[in-house]
Chain A
């Protein structure tokens, strides 16, 4: 009796969408443990979790957005612009300003940037990827202009403490990332917003015919992504204690990569936030591995690109329902 149950559970595991990333993490982890003595140390894991925290925050928003059939390539620029504006605020206030206000400003900026993206895509019916490609340039430009092209220091100390540092042995930013992963998963699976996102990606016409205001929800999706990207920007600014206008470059690629690796379909309709978390861990472990093995930083971009390509191609094998 027990044997067949074990068999069934194993079958379920392997056919689930999570099996891929989990197996990959274990295999690579095993490989690295053998070939690199530094890998299996607590300090290394802390390091990895530190590095992937920002990616996770952005990718959670991106997961919901891609599930709804959209995409946002301006998130990296959003990260930079939010950081710059918050830094300007802190510098402008005589006493260094209030961290709470800083957070509110940051969230507001994120919402605004997302709103702009959303309005253009939803009401002007412009294709998401090229639109956000354009807004990426605009937002990045503003980051450069407002900062004069230079990094900005003078970030409020309390603000820095909110987002960085440690709670026990865990880095704060990673815990924040986990928190938002949980929230994101909840939103996607347990709320009406998440349900509508899944429908939008699967068959927008059905939503329309059912009398649901599709455009408004589309804008909401972009705003969620924008807010989370801004949050990531705040975390980054805290971690570095400086706001760089050139920050966030290629963050959008990393976000798309881990979303796709985690099993969310690029065409939309099926999304998993937990999968994205796994994907982020996998990417983090891979990057960490490359570092441990002494592979120069130059190879990393090549690497991420190959990952995206492989993930996208293998994702196409799991055909979306519309193609059946």
Chain B
């Protein structure tokens, strides 16, 4: 007999590990640098989190279905290049954005189709796609960043104030994602794919269609992340998302309790995971730790998160 715990109680149960980690990290860094715990820095962290968060939200869908998408970083770069090229070619801003979004969704569609039709492992398909799309980014951009983004675009996403609109878009998408995952049949089926594909298939759920949809969602998210990234950089870079963004997109949900086996769709967990990574990055920056050390740190965190996940599954 389980007593119905309050929502707060259950949230604590599920996320207490990552919440405590978050607190510990923040306490630690606030001691190492007096600029860490300032309003300015908090806004900074939130702002930079928006990109990772959007990517992670897409990844939550994919992970919940039991898959993985390694190509999000490349999609981010490529759709950015596409949008920038369209912008500089004089295409109206909104149309250019729409086309870029379609391209992102198309990449997701291809991923999903190949995975479900040929019954291949998601990691190798999205790994190959990572290469293809990155290549497309290089080809279309000639290897160079594209500047000259329209001011309206820049203003909307990067903003003048401390906090660009990026974070609000990210939060909005997070809420929407949580809603879809909890309140629609589609969300249930995504989770069923990961937790019990056979059961879902036997009741007539169209499993391949659902699989394709989650990759389209992932591609969709990558485009929005790209918009925010571009606005922040004031340029579209073919090497965007190459370093750590795409790994963070996977690590954050797993830190937050999502599993690579699928079946779980912890949106709030992904949020916490993103915060953990962003705080670590910010804190290390404040300490003057170079980018290189940060890469070690992030890589270690990923390995640790994966080990944690596999241990969790054993228990």
By DSSP majority rule, is chain A's interface helix, strand, loop, or mixed?
helix
Chain A: which residue is nearest B132 at the CB level? A305
Complex interface bits, B287-315 against A, C-beta within 8 A gives 1, otherwise 0: 00011111111111011001101110010
Instruction: Add 5 more A-B contacts to A130-B123, A134-B300, A305-B134 (CB < 8 A).
Output: A127-B306, A256-B127, A300-B135, A302-B131, A309-B129
B120 adjacent to A133 (CB under 8 Å): no
Complex interface bits, A122-134 against B, C-beta within 8 A gives 1, otherwise 0: 0011110111011
Complex Cα spacing A311 to B265, Å? 33
Interface size of B by CB at 8 A reads 48
Complex interface bits, A267-283 against B, C-beta within 8 A gives 1, otherwise 0: 10000000000000000
A125 adjacent to B310 (CB under 8 Å): yes
Interface contacts (Cβ under 8 Å), in number, total: 139
Interface size of A by CB at 8 A reads 42
| A137, A304, A306, most chain B CB atoms within 10 A | A137
CB neighbours (8 Å) of A124 from chain B are: 307, 310-311
Q: Does B244 contact A (CB under 8 A)?
A: yes
Complex Cα spacing A120 to B308, Å? 11
Q: Does A308 contact B (CB under 8 A)?
A: yes
Choose from B131, B133, B297, B310 the contact partner of A253 (Cβ within 8 Å): B131
A309 and B306 in contact (CB under 8 A), knowing A140-B295, A316-B119?
no
Complex Cα spacing A298 to B70, Å? 21
Q: Does B214 contact A (CB under 8 A)?
A: no
A130 adjacent to B299 (CB under 8 Å): no
Chain A: which residue is nearest B110 at the CB level? A309
A305 and B142 in contact (CB under 8 A), knowing A138-B299, A145-B296, A316-B120?
no
CB neighbours (8 Å) of B244 from chain A are: 137
B138 adjacent to A301 (CB under 8 Å): yes
Complex Cα spacing A127 to B67, Å? 12
Q: Does A135 contact B (CB under 8 A)?
A: yes
Choose from B134, B136, B292, B307 the contact partner of A126 (Cβ within 8 Å): B307
Kindly provide the distance from the CB of B178 to the nearest chain A CB, expressed in whole angstroms: 25
Interface positions of B from 105 to 150, Cβ below 8 Å from A:
114, 118-121, 123-125, 127-136, 138-139, 142-143
Kindly provide the distance from the CB of A193 to the nearest chain B CB, expressed in whole angstroms: 25
A298 adjacent to B138 (CB under 8 Å): yes
Kindly provide the distance from the CB of B194 to the nearest chain A CB, expressed in whole angstroms: 14
Chain A: which residue is nearest B131 at the CB level? A305
Complex interface bits, A235-274 against B, C-beta within 8 A gives 1, otherwise 0: 0000000000000001001001000000000110000000
Q: Does A149 contact B (CB under 8 A)?
A: yes
Chain A: which residue is nearest B244 at the CB level? A137
Chain A: which residue is nearest B296 at the CB level? A141
Q: Does A57 contact B (CB under 8 A)?
A: no
CB neighbours (8 Å) of A304 from chain B are: 131, 135
B307 adjacent to A309 (CB under 8 Å): no
B139 adjacent to A129 (CB under 8 Å): no
**16 A–B contact pairs at CB < 8 A?**
A130-B302, A133-B247, A133-B250, A134-B247, A134-B300, A135-B303, A137-B296, A138-B296, A141-B297, A144-B291, A253-B131, A304-B131, A305-B128, A308-B127, A308-B131, A316-B118
Q: Does A136 contact B (CB under 8 A)?
A: yes
Kindly provide the distance from the CB of A140 to the nearest chain B CB, expressed in whole angstroms: 6
A130 adjacent to B125 (CB under 8 Å): no
Choose from A129, A137, A250, A309 the contact partner of B114 (Cβ within 8 Å): A309
Kindly provide the distance from the CB of B105 to the nearest chain A CB, expressed in whole angstroms: 19
A144 and B295 in contact (CB under 8 A), knowing A126-B307, A130-B250, A309-B129?
yes
CB neighbours (8 Å) of A144 from chain B are: 290-292, 295
Q: Does A312 contact B (CB under 8 A)?
A: yes
